[in-house]
Amino acid sequence: MAWIHLGEEATVSSIQFVDALLADAERDQRAETGPSDAEALDAYSQVVTGVAERVIGSVASLRISRRLPGGRQAQGSGSAVAITPDGFLVTSAHVVEGTGKGRASLTDGRELRFEVVGRDALSDLAVIRASGADLEPVSLGNADRLRVGQLVVAVGNPMGLAGSVTAGVVSALGRSFPTSDGQASRLVENVIQTDAALNPGNSGGALVDGRGRMVGVSTAVAGIGLGLAVPVNATTRRIIAALMRDGRFRRAYLGIAGGSRPLPPRLARRLGREAGVEVVQVVEGTPAAAAGLLPEDLIVELDGTPVAGVSDIQRLMVGERIGAKVPVRIVRQGHELELELVPGELD
């Protein structure tokens, strides 16, 4: 083995090089304009505590009694969030399933009776109204503006007095989960996934942003350390408003089962889209059957709006289309056809 003697000059040069690197690192750290670790942690704490102070008084604890088959009684609990000063609160539909009334406890010690005003299982949203209430409503935000990594705070009230606060970030957007109501089923879309842990009894509570605006209604635990919230956006505001006004949210339906399917390349180029909805089943006696839709038809447009998946059709099935004539463009055995159907009301 050959040994190479670097000599004193090389050793000194190496030491100077390392010293220069360390000096550059120290200079870069001093040049940084961001907060220190301690300052960042303190700012985080201030945001969370500030949000908790503003929102906790608006979140109620619900105690519910359900009658089971055989005459037995089952006790349930959850949370609800005040959205008007005169007693309207929003919660999860599954929290008040099987009951029409219960008791709501607030963090100021008040206990109020409430009645279920309206419930929509297909969005997992419900509205209740507390009697004789003078509530502190939350400010409603817009979940469509959330970004992955954004700070959010989950506020619930499982115990009725102290409230429950957990903080985290938006870990995913655009999630979905299935809901059902009798024979009807639907995907709740654009669900928010967060690592702000949900405690037992937090369902129906508020998911708020760093300014204390409610951007979601906590609905389910998605796994260890992960929770899901139904977004507060233009769509869910319409549902909540309908529940407050009419006690229900009207939906149109076609009467098909289907799924997304890629379009043939030539058709995709001509239409300027890559997928449509393939009809797998047409239920007898439904608007789809009356319009002449058949299995293996490919729906590419509904009422002038392109559709590429079942969720696109779901978004279009609003109350305004019930009983209205709606054109539907399909592809059948390679040929484009236009049919006319009249959506019915989903019971």
Residues labelled as active-site residues: 94, 124, 203
CA distances from 203 to 76, 80, 92, 161, 323 (A): 11, 8, 6, 16, 36
Percent helix, strand, coil in the chain (nearest 5)?
25, 40, 35
**Residue 308's CB: how many other CB atoms inside 10 A?**
18
Kindly report the CA angle at 48 between 43 and 50, in degrees rounded to 5? 90
Please state, as a whole number, how many other Cβ atoms lie within 10 Å of the Cβ of residue 149: 8
With H, G, I as helix, E, B as strand and everything else as coil, classify residue 160.
coil
State whether the Cα torsion 245-183-317-254 is positive or negative.
Answer: negative
For residue 282 the two structure tokens come to 């047409």
Residue ranges of alpha helices (H) inside 34-132 are 37-55
The three-state secondary structure class of 50 is: helix
In the chain, DSSP finds a helix count (H) and a strand count (E) of 6, 21
Amino acid at 317: M
Kindly state the greatest CA–CA separation across the chain.
96
